[in-house]
Amino acid sequence: MTSIREKLVLIGNGMAGVGTIEQILKLGGAYDITVFGSEPHPNYNRIMLSYVLEGSKTVDDIILNDWSWYKDNGITLHTGTTVARIDGDKRQVITENGLTVDYDKVIIATGSNSFILPIPGSGREGVVGFRDIADCEAMLEAAKQYGKAAVIGGGLLGLEAAKGLVNLGMDVTVVHLMEDLMERQLDHTAASMLKAELERQGVKFAMGKQTVELTGDERVSGLRFIDGTELEAQFVVMAVGIKPNVSVAKASGIEVNRGIVVNDYLQTSLADVYSVGECTEHRGVCYGLVAPLFEQGTVLAKHLCGVETKPYEGSVVSTKLKISGVDVFSAGEFIDTPEHTVISAKDDWKRTYKKILLRDNIIVGAVLFGDVTESGSLQKLVKQGAVMTDDIYADVMGTGCCGGGGAKKTASVESMSDEEIVCGCNGVTKKAIVDAITDNGFTTVDEIKACTGATRSCGGCKPVVEQILQYVLGDGFEQSAKTGICSCTTLSRDEIVAQIRAKGLTTTKEVMNVLGWKQEEGCSKCRPAVNYYLGMIYPDTHEDEKESRFVNERMSANIQKDGTFTVVPRMYGGVTTPEDLKRIADVSIKYDVKVVKVTGGQRLDLIGIKKEDVPKVWEELDMPSGYAYAKSLRTVKTCVGSQFCRFGTQDSMSMGALLERKYERLDFPAKFKMAVNGCPRNCAESCTKDIGIVGNDGGWEVFIGGNGGIKPRIADSFCKVKTDEELVGICSAVMQYYRETGNYLERTSEWVERIGLEHIKTAILDNEEERKALAHRIDFALTQVQDPWKKMLIDGATRSALFEATEIR
Ligand SMILES: Cc1cc2nc3c(=O)[nH]c(=O)nc-3n(C[C@H](O)[C@H](O)[C@H](O)COP(=O)(O)OP(=O)(O)OC[C@H]3O[C@@H](n4cnc5c(N)ncnc54)[C@H](O)[C@@H]3O)c2cc1C
Ligand code: SF4
């Protein structure tokens, strides 16, 4: 005899609803489940839309439950189908296209819609919200066709959209009504730091502006503000907020306020109808982040499966902003009033800020900017309403604003309590992760993700989950973490390098043959990597394989989107002469250079040179290549230093030029940038360079691992030295150590994070012999390099093959 299962219908195939169904399945809930979703996709991770927009993930990458998941769990799925209403009398769910399904229980999880400002012109073509895959696709399309975009709204969503559009090459202005960004999560200091950081990354801002009209004909052409000023934009993203989607509930006669009103067991006013997610209003609050929605889902799933559960009593919301490269966190109260005791620390050099608010000595809120290492502990303390003690103070403030580097991070995993929440979005504790590893023998983050849900939503906790994995597995971790450098091989970078050395392999072909590559010829990922490793191991004998290099490196110039090239000659330490400038001007006029651009690295970029003219330009410039296309030393940025500046304590210009001359032309795993400053005022911005050098009264301080690119990172202080000679010795050792241990394409910012600052310090600073040996090896490699432009000019065959006949792909 088969038992009759109750029919459960989910309206809304999004994160909260499907999250609840997953919990029900885990608890063994015996339901026949039907899911309706308006979108044509299976359940996907909405949070990751920003990554789809910036191009680092595809739609397929962000699918949480693929089609087979529904099938395997016996769930009937109707995508592209919108539910119109619930008939409580007939106990049926009715769709807009006339489908009728009986139910015993219903969950409404219809999420929110983007709030579109009701102003003239908001219906014009080119105006979108930022909510779903369709919006994302519209943005990707717009970026191909139009130049200027405006994002209305300076909250989390607006900033993510703006950053995505900037990455797509658009000129983007964020228009915000208030004077501070994210004013509902950040205080004035953190908001100002965030704005400055995003400006650095290319986002423009129009603050304190109220948009009253979107101008244009059929398509939007601009914004008009209440003060009469205007802004040009052929594409507008409205990110001014969300509106709980209550239409099904309203049409079904269910009590609705701002959202669908529920009790502490998520029950609506209609019997057997529940609501979770952003469409839901609990005790007067509608939430807009996933963590509270999953907490609701957990209570509802238990309730529907007859498992005893505490009621849902609301959530403490914390925000960890994940705009690429900007670390911001806020939890609980964040604006200080006279009632608060404020603990704060701001570091303008590292661009970090930490603030903790106490009321009657109870921790009621926190804001972090630039370093969010303490976010997990602070979130817990705020949630618990913990009393501030000396120990807690030392724990959360002991490191100042800037965290304590890698060593502290690992130690903090060890000292975390079992109940500490690691994945805030999915409420996964350290114990749940440790148990998953020990009970199931897991060795990868993906396995932990599938079992516990940790890292599945915003992904911000992945580094901590990795550290727990490392902590539990000990030596076994490295074994398990090994993955091939690409799909052609299962060998890691270290194994390949070791095998090249051990077996004396000398060409990429030989490496691939002997080491059993699955694909004989390799691929575009492994070929340049192996070519680099060979060059690094055999600087004197390795014959560089041009065909294994990326096109810009093959051509020794950067190809532009219109097929022309850019040429960037060296200007050592950013210093030039009237004679060189005259030559650049003459050549630019003669070869009809479209634009001469001063680069961020303090030199000149000659843009728009025809392919056939490139060698002639090199010849007539008669200057060294600036390597603007290469995985090599790009620039050494300098300030004016003690030669001219009244604050300068060291001669930064001379030192910068010396370093640039010494290390130019050598291959590195990735591009490499340096800066030298005459004093700690740091005008040449050492903090974002691979090696940043700052002069002081007694000598120099060296910083490593900085990056100002797509994933900015502030450099770590490495050491202080007294003499110029010592400084060069340290630079040589760091560069060669990076050359020898870095993964191909890995910037020093990632390298330092991966192998650990302390480890690099031990290898270089605590071991004079090794430091000298590294310096000796880089000096030897440097004797082998040659200027590529000069080389190409005397190599007639390559020159004509590349610049006269070859089609570039
Ligand atoms: C770009 C972006 C970035 C974000 N970043 C973060 C972040 O960093 N951290 C964080 O915590 N949160 C973030 N969020 C918010 C988070 O994604 C939402 O809180 C979460 O997705 C809400 O889940 P939900 O299930 O309530 O709604 P949704 O995920 O919106 O799902 C609702 C689904 O129901 C469907 N639907 C609606 N009406 C009907 C109907 N009548 N019939 C059938 N189907 C219907 C909708 O089409 C939708 O697919 C972000 C959101 C966006 C858009
Ligand atoms: S960093 Fe110091 S020395 Fe260099 S320009 Fe700025 S103030 Fe002058």
Q: pLDDT tens digits for 498-536? A: 999 988 899 999 999 999 888 778 877 899 999 999 999
Instruction: Identify which of 10, 11, 15, 372 to mutate to test ligand 1's pocket (most ligand atoms within 8 A of the CB).
Output: 15
The answer to whether residues 566 and 700 belong to one domain is: no
Nearest to 102 by CA among 112, 110, 94, 113: 94
- Distance from Cα 244 to the centre of ligand 1, integer Å: 10
Phi, psi angle pair for 70, to nearest 5°: -65, -45
Q: How confident is the model at residue 808 (pLDDT cuts 50, 70, 90)?
A: very low
Q: Which of 613, 630, 647 is the last residue of a domain?
A: 630
The answer to whether residues 54 and 85 belong to one domain is: yes
Q: How confident is the model at residue 403 (pLDDT cuts 50, 70, 90)?
A: very low
1 in a structural domain: no
Residue 362 has pLDDT above 70, yes or no: yes
> How far from 72 is each of 9, 19, 39, 65, 553, CA to CA, in Å?
17, 16, 21, 11, 49
- Position with higher pLDDT, 410 vs 164: 164
pLDDT at 168: 82
Instruction: Indicate the helix (H) or strand (E) that contains 3.
Output: none
310 in a structural domain: no
483 in a structural domain: no
Q: What is the pLDDT of residues 414-465, one digit of tens each?
A: 777 787 778 877 778 888 899 998 888 888 888 888 888 888 877 777 778 8
Greatest alpha-carbon pair distance for the chain in Å reads 96
The two tokens of residue 105 are 């229980």
The answer to whether residues 437 and 536 belong to one domain is: no
pLDDT at 591: 95
**Residue 679, annotated ligand binder?**
yes
- Distance from Cα 680 to the centre of ligand 2, integer Å: 7
- Distance from Cα 311 to the centre of ligand 1, integer Å: 24
Q: How far apart are CA 158 and CA 175, in angstroms?
A: 9
Q: How far apart are CA 84 and CA 95, in angstroms?
A: 5
Instruction: Identify which of 638, 655, 677 to mutate to test ligand 2's pocket (most ligand atoms within 8 A of the CB).
Output: 677
Rounding to the nearest 10 degrees, give the CA dihedral for residues 698, 699, 703, 709. Answer: 120
Residue 705 has pLDDT above 90, yes or no: yes
- Position with higher pLDDT, 496 vs 407: 496
pLDDT at 806: 42
The two tokens of residue 445 are 């983050």
Q: How confident is the model at residue 635 (pLDDT cuts 50, 70, 90)?
A: very high
Q: What is the pLDDT of residues 593-614, one digit of tens each?
A: 999 999 989 999 999 999 899 9
Give the ligand with the smallest distance to the CA of 640.
2
The answer to whether residues 127 and 107 belong to one domain is: no
What total number of domains does the chain contain? 7
Q: What is the pLDDT of residues 273-318, one digit of tens each?
A: 999 999 999 999 999 888 899 999 999 999 999 999 999 999 877 7
- Distance from Cα 562 to the centre of ligand 2, integer Å: 40
The answer to whether residues 100 and 167 belong to one domain is: no
287 CA: nearest ligand 1 atom: 19
**Residue 488, annotated ligand binder?**
no
The answer to whether residues 664 and 789 belong to one domain is: yes
- Distance from Cα 760 to the centre of ligand 1, integer Å: 43
Percentage of residues in the chain with pLDDT exceeding 70? 95
497 in a structural domain: yes
- Distance from Cα 41 to the centre of ligand 1, integer Å: 13
Residue 271 has pLDDT above 90, yes or no: yes
- Distance from Cα 652 to the centre of ligand 2, integer Å: 9
- Distance from Cα 110 to the centre of ligand 1, integer Å: 8
At 100, which CATH number? 3.50.50.60
Buried b (16+ CB within 10 A) or exposed e, 378-392: bbbbbbeebebeeeb
775 in a structural domain: yes
Ligand 1 near 297 CB (within 6 A): no
- Distance from Cα 602 to the centre of ligand 1, integer Å: 45
Count CA atoms within 13 Å of residue 526 on its CB side.
25
Give the ligand with the smallest distance to the CA of 682.
2
- Distance from Cα 682 to the centre of ligand 2, integer Å: 6
Average pLDDT over residues 155-182: 90
- Distance from Cα 664 to the centre of ligand 2, integer Å: 24
Q: How confident is the model at residue 405 (pLDDT cuts 50, 70, 90)?
A: very low
Ligand 1 near 426 CB (within 6 A): no
Entry pTM: 0.60
322 CA: nearest ligand 1 atom: 8
Instruction: Identify which of 349, 639, 682 to mutate to test ligand 2's pocket (most ligand atoms within 8 A of the CB).
Output: 639
Q: What is the pLDDT of residues 46-87, one digit of tens each?
A: 988 988 887 767 888 889 999 999 999 999 999 999 999 999
Ligand 1 near 248 CB (within 6 A): yes
Q: How far apart are CA 443 and CA 651, in angstroms?
A: 51
Which residues surround ligand 2 with Cβ inside 6 Å? Answer: 639-641, 645, 647-648, 652, 677-679, 681-683
Q: What is the pLDDT of residues 193-230, one digit of tens each?
A: 999 988 988 899 999 999 999 999 999 999 999 999 99
Q: What is the pLDDT of residues 27-47, one digit of tens each?
A: 998 899 999 999 999 999 998
Q: Which of 198, 225, 240 is the last residue of a domain?
A: 240
- Distance from Cα 386 to the centre of ligand 2, integer Å: 45
Q: What is the mean pLDDT of the chain?
A: 89
pLDDT at 320: 66
The answer to whether residues 119 and 228 belong to one domain is: yes
Ligand 1 near 244 CB (within 6 A): no
pLDDT at 805: 45
Ligand 1 near 130 CB (within 6 A): yes
Q: Which residues touch 409 (CB under 8 Å, ≥6 apart)?
A: 373, 403, 463, 467
Give the ligand with the smallest distance to the CA of 696.
2
Q: For the residues of 370-392, what is the DSSP string, one character each?
A: S--TTHHHHHHHHHHTPBP-HHH
- Distance from Cα 642 to the centre of ligand 2, integer Å: 8
At 449, which CATH number? 1.10.10.1100
**Residue 305, annotated ligand binder?**
no
The answer to whether residues 545 and 555 belong to one domain is: no
pLDDT at 402: 36
Q: Which residues touch 489 (CB under 8 Å, ≥6 apart)?
A: 496, 515, 516, 517, 518, 526
pLDDT at 235: 95
796 in a structural domain: yes
Q: What is the pLDDT of residues 543-600, one digit of tens each?
A: 988 888 877 888 888 887 777 899 999 999 999 999 999 999 999 999 999 999 999 8
649 CA: nearest ligand 2 atom: 3
pLDDT at 407: 37
Instruction: Identify which of 23, 47, 455 to mutate to test ligand 1's pocket (most ligand atoms within 8 A of the CB).
Output: 47
The answer to whether residues 768 and 638 belong to one domain is: yes
Q: How far apart are CA 252 and CA 267, in angstroms?
A: 14
Q: How far apart are CA 260 and CA 277, in angstroms?
A: 10
- Kindly report the length of the chain: 809
679 CA: nearest ligand 2 atom: 2
Residue 682 has pLDDT above 90, yes or no: yes
Give the ligand with the smallest distance to the CA of 132.
1
Ligand 1, atom 2: closest residue by C-alpha: 47
Nearest to 318 by CA among 195, 424, 454: 424
Q: Which residues touch 596 (CB under 8 Å, ≥6 apart)?
A: 584, 588, 604, 605, 606, 607
625 in a structural domain: yes
Give the ligand with the smallest distance to the CA of 679.
2
Ligand 1 near 548 CB (within 6 A): no
Instruction: Identify which of 54, 260, 289 to mutate to test ligand 1's pocket (most ligand atoms within 8 A of the CB).
Output: 289
319 in a structural domain: no
Q: What is the pLDDT of residues 181-191, one digit of tens each?
A: 988 888 999 99
The answer to whether residues 126 and 212 belong to one domain is: yes
Residue 364 has pLDDT above 80, yes or no: yes
Q: How many CB atoms lie within 10 A of CB 504?
A: 11
Q: Which of 364, 398, 432 is the last residue of a domain?
A: 398
Q: How confident is the model at residue 809 (pLDDT cuts 50, 70, 90)?
A: very low
pLDDT at 502: 86
The answer to whether residues 640 and 725 belong to one domain is: yes
650 CA: nearest ligand 2 atom: 3
Percentage of residues in the chain with pLDDT exceeding 90? 62
At 391, which CATH number? 3.30.390.30
Domain that holds residue 617: 550-630
Ligand 1 near 158 CB (within 6 A): no
Q: How confident is the model at residue 400 (pLDDT cuts 50, 70, 90)?
A: very low
Cβ 13 vs Cβ 77: under 8 Å: yes
Ligand 2, atom 6: closest residue by C-alpha: 683
The answer to whether residues 647 and 759 belong to one domain is: yes
- Position with higher pLDDT, 263 vs 412: 263
